[in-house]
Amino acid sequence: MIYQAEQLSVTLLEDGIAELKYDAKGPVNKFDQATLQALTEAVKVLQTNSDIKGLIQTSGKGAFIVGADITEFLDLFKLPDAELLGWLEQANAVFNAIEDLPYPTISAVNGHALGGGCEAILATDFRVADTTARIGLPETKLGIMPGFGGTVRLPRLIGADNAVEWITAGKDYKAPAALKFGTVDAVVAPEILRDAALSMVKDAIAGKLDWQSRRAQKQAPLGLNKIEATMSFSTALGMVYAKAGKHYPAPTAAVKAVEAAARMDRTGALGVEAATFIKLAKTDAAQALVGLFLSDQALKAGAKKAAKAGKATNKAAVLGAGIMGGGIAYQSAVKGTPVIMKDINDAALDLGMATASGLLTTQLKRGRIDGTKLAKVISSITPTLSYNSVDEADIIVEAVVENPKIKAAVLAELEDNVSADTVITSNTSTIPINVLAKSLKRPEQFCGMHFFNPVHKMPLVEIIRGEKSSDETIATTVAYAAKMGKTPIVVNDCPGFFVNRVLFPYFFGFSKLIADGADFVAVDKVMEKQFGWPMGPAYLLDVVGIDTGHHAAAVMADGFPERMAKTGKDSIDVMFDATRYGQKNGVGFYSYAKDRRGRIQKTPDAKSYELLAEVASEKADFTKDEIIARCMIPMINEVVRCLEEGIVATPGDADMALIYGIGFPPFRGGVFRYLDTMGLDKYIKLADSFADLGPLYQVTDGLRQRAADGKTFY
Ligand code: T1G
């Protein structure tokens, strides 16, 4: 061993080959500041030890390096530009030094080599990967871009167009794809990875591999002339902008940086990269997206803890084989938990099985699963009309119709047919868990499990803790949801739980806007294009279903009469009374028809305007800011109330639930990050200017106090 630190070591092997091995104490190798410091020192040894003739760069863990340490980012990004530049320059100095070592260098890549981890392997002359490798530059997903030379070295290695694809998509590539692009030079089985790297470096030392010209090519400016460059980059820029949109500046900034640096030498190109990185690091989008990564990690950690505290689910059961039941059964089975699907009639079971097999067939057609897997998953769903086998399940999800009486009866009957330690959950979207628990003898074994439609696509599952739910019941349910590949978020019981409780005030804000003469198409456009929602409120109501929305609105009005009680007929009632239930029956605010490719298209419908005239005053124009404020303030205030009342545990939980449950624009980071970014004082002033619109616009005393204390949420 010629250098040893906590995170990495350098060993001199036979034949003058040095091995730089990353093997940190924690679960992954990452470039935190301490590792960068250790690498800086290790590289001095590599530069000065005259016995070294070649280098292999390896990892002692199941993955290579996951990149820079994201947990350091929020503090780093707040630093003055010069200090942030210092961080980038330290990494660049050390990667340049590796690239300039006076002997051949090879990386042996296993598992994830992401971000800075990918950039570390780009610094060596060659790369050999094993079949577990996943290589990529995910930085743009965090609202930033590669900062340790990725935008400089990757284009020079695989061409500007390919590099732009890698950098802007932010995804990671499996070893064969990386080989095809030329990011790695060879792919081998994991058992022989190190030997393959050793053999390559020996070949290079022996002059059988021309590492010098390889290196020279990687360091030279891109061989594009100005016209070629302009043409290829402007096409890429157009495509990237069309996909990322104005709210996500990182992908387009990255393309511009690659373009600007294309004909520069390494120093100049790294300078362009660093300057662009610093600009992006200071954007609200970067703060929000990095924050979301951290909140997501906190949720994952919670799910891991739950898996230890709760009971393992080896078999599950779903009661009620409708669209939701079928979707839940599919999701359970496809992620490896066999599931019993019980209903009271064959037709319903057929529908549930058809839902599951339809989803599997789509996966098969897309090449994501093969026929064997399809057969295995289908055979792990057992349809049944009787309770006989239901007791085999460790956890049961009740998903019968959303009717309190029917659910109560089904739950009571179910409890009598299962053993005392079975966990029972209800997939209800509106009925309080404490109400349903009353029909059970063992309410401590019961909680809510609110899936979102379509189950296979929506990442969130709200786990609702009733007054009597035990900690073990919650832990078992959280662990099962995580096993299903979902993000479980635990909330306390209240009407609408968390997501619907905050969504309906937003719909009420929308309805009031319509009543005051706004055009629903214009509102949707502003909420989509300006605010960034995937769907505006009218469109979302159509997708949720006006009948469902109408029912939930009544539940919310009942639950929170002081703020949400009806003051008269509103736009949702108008659509409901006209049996315009939205996408499900082809007409709602919009009308829906399939286009030639079979995709459902919406068009504004004159009939809607005619009907809405009953509740709307004369057409009035609202500014974009007014539209956003009038829709968002009721939601924001309700989210704040939920935190103050302990319905959600943390701002991070709330923000993730909003993003995963209803598509709150990620670049805004959720309601609490949005408030922090805007400034609480500014928000309160804004909300107060709309206070005459009613109690939904009243800011809580808690928020005023927080603002007065100068506190933020994060
Ligand atoms: N920073 C800090 N911790 C990280 C991390 C990272 N980059 N990546 C993973 N972890 C921790 C994670 O918190 C967890 O810790 C453990 O590793 C396992 O992760 C300058 C700017 C790698 C695909 O964006 O996508 O380099 O909870 O539970 O599901 O250009 O983590 O066990 O204590 O998620 O198998 C670019 C982000 C940074 C990669 C593994 N890198 N990570 O997923 O396990 S920007 C990324 C992931 C950068 C330079 C720049 C995933 C994963 P603990 P896990 P997993």
CATH of the domain at 150: 3.90.226.10
Q: Is residue 349's pLDDT more than 80?
A: yes
Give the closest residue (by CA) to ligand 1 atom 30.
146
Query: What whole-number distance in Å separates Cα of residue 93 and Cα of residue 472?
Result: 51
Residues 160, 154: Cα–Cα separation, whole Å: 8
**What's the 182 CA to ligand 1 centre distance in angstroms?**
24
| Interface confidence (ipTM) of the complex | 0.97
Residue having the nearest C-alpha atom to atom 29 of ligand 1: 300
- How far apart are the CA of 236 and the centre of ligand 1, in A? 28
* CB-ligand 1 contact for 70 (6 Å cutoff): yes
Is 296 assigned to a binding site?
yes
Q: Are residues 44 and 189 in the same domain?
A: yes
**Residue 227 pLDDT level (bands cut at 50, 70, 90):** confident
In whole angstroms, what is the distance from residue 403 CA to residue 426 CA?
A: 12
Token digits for 713?
Answer: 């949420």
The residue that leads in pLDDT, 241 or 481, is: 481
Q: Is 483 contained in some domain?
A: yes
247 catalytic per annotation: no
Residue nearest to atom 34 of ligand 1 (CA): 297
pLDDT given at position 562? 96
Q: Is the pLDDT of residue 107 over 90?
A: yes
Domain count, the chain: 3
How confident is the model over 287-317, as pLDDT tens digits? Answer: 999 999 999 999 999 999 998 999 999 999 9
428, 456, 489 - which closes a domain: 489
Q: Is residue 583 part of a domain?
A: yes
Q: What is the per-residue pLDDT for 509?
A: 97
68 vs 63: CA distance, rounded Å: 14
d(CA 100, CA 642): 56
Asked whether residue 265 falls in the same domain as residue 379, the answer is no
Q: What is the pLDDT of residue 96?
A: 98
Any domain includes 494: no
Contact assessment for residue 112 and residue 63, using Cβ atoms and an 8 Å cutoff: yes
Residue type, 554: A
Q: Are residues 96 and 164 in the same domain?
A: yes
Query: Does the Cβ of 134 fall within 6 Å of ligand 1?
Result: no
> How many Å lie between the centroid of ligand 1 and the Cα of residue 67?
7
Nearest to 585 by CA among 614, 537, 548, 613: 548
Cβ of 67 closer than 6 Å to ligand 1, yes or no, is: yes
- In a domain, residue 140? The reply is yes
Kindly state whether residue 25 falls inside one of the protein's structural domains: yes
Residue after which a domain boundary falls, among 422, 454, 489: 489
Q: What is the pLDDT of residue 652?
A: 97
Q: Mind listing the pLDDT tens digit for each residue in 139-179?
A: 999 999 999 999 999 999 999 999 999 999 999 999 999 99
Mean pLDDT over 186-194 rounds to 98
**292 inside domain:** no
69 lines ligand 1 (CB under 6 A): yes
Query: C-alpha dihedral over 195, 196, 198, 203, to 10 degrees?
Result: 140
Report pTM: 0.93
Binding site membership of 143 for ligand 1 (Cβ less than 6 Å): no
For 237-279, the three-class secondary structure string (H helix, E strand, C coil) is HHHHHHHHCCCCHHHHHHHHHHHHHCCCCHHHHHHHHHHHHHH
Q: Who wins on pLDDT, 618 or 79?
A: 79
Same domain, 583 and 701: yes
Return mean pLDDT, the chain: 95
| Annotated catalytic residue, options 112, 247, 450, 551 | 450
Q: Compute the average pLDDT of residues 358-382.
A: 93
- What pLDDT score was predicted for residue 115? 98
- Measured from the Cα of 26, ligand 1's closest atom is 33
What pLDDT is recorded for position 323? 84
Residue 453 and residue 546 share a domain: no
Query: What DSSP character marks residue 466?
Result: P
Examine the domain organization and report whether 254 and 330 are in the same domain.
Answer: no
Are residue 341 and residue 270 in the same domain, yes or no? no
- Percentage with pLDDT > 70 across the chain: 100
User: Are 187 and 57 in the same domain?
Assistant: yes
Q: Which residue has the higher pLDDT, 284 or 567?
A: 284
The pLDDT confidence band at residue 222, using thresholds 50, 70 and 90, is confident
Handedness of CA 316, 658, 281, 159 (dihedral sign): positive
What digits encode the pLDDT tens for the residues 199-217?
A: 999 999 999 999 999 999 8
So what's the pLDDT on residue 122? 98
Residues 6+ apart with CB under 8 A from 116: 30, 31, 65, 67, 68, 91, 147, 148
Residue 591 in any domain: the answer is: yes
Which pLDDT does position 664 carry in this prediction?
A: 97
Written as six digits, the tokens of 171 are: 């995804």
- Same domain membership, residue 108 and residue 88: yes
Closest residue to atom 17 of ligand 1, CA basis: 28
- Range with lowest mean pLDDT among 92-101, 317-326, 532-541, 658-667: 317-326
Looking at the structure, do residues 267 and 340 belong to the same domain, yes or no? no
The residue segments making up the domain with residue 519 are: 499-709
pLDDT(598) > 90: no
Over residues 602-625, the mean pLDDT reads: 93
Compute the average pLDDT of residues 333-345. 95
| Residue 649 DSSP symbol | S
Is residue 119 within 6 Å of ligand 1 at its C-beta? yes
**Do 21 and 142 lie in a common domain?**
yes
pLDDT given at position 119: 98
Domain boundary among 489, 521, 536: 489
Kindly report the CATH number assigned to the domain that includes residue 625: 1.10.1040.50
**CA 66 to ligand 1 center in whole angstroms:** 5
Query: What residue's CA is closest to ligand 1, atom 13?
Result: 297
Across the range 244-260, mean pLDDT stands at: 94
Phi, psi of 580 (to 5 degrees): -95, 90
Per-residue confidence (pLDDT) for residue 666, from 0 to 100:
97
- Compare 235 and 471 and report the one with higher pLDDT: 471
Residue 587 to residue 594: CA distance in whole angstroms: 13
**Inside any domain, residue 416:** yes
pLDDT band at 617 (very low <50, low <70, confident <90, very high): confident
Our measurement of the distance from residue 600's CA atom to the centroid of its chain's CA atoms, rounded to an integer in Å, reads: 26
Q: Give the CATH number for residue 418.
A: 3.40.50.720
Q: For 178-215, give one letter per residue: b (16+ CB within 10 A) or e.
A: bbebebbbbbbeeeebbebbbebbbbbbeeebebeebb
Residues 511 and 643 in one domain: yes
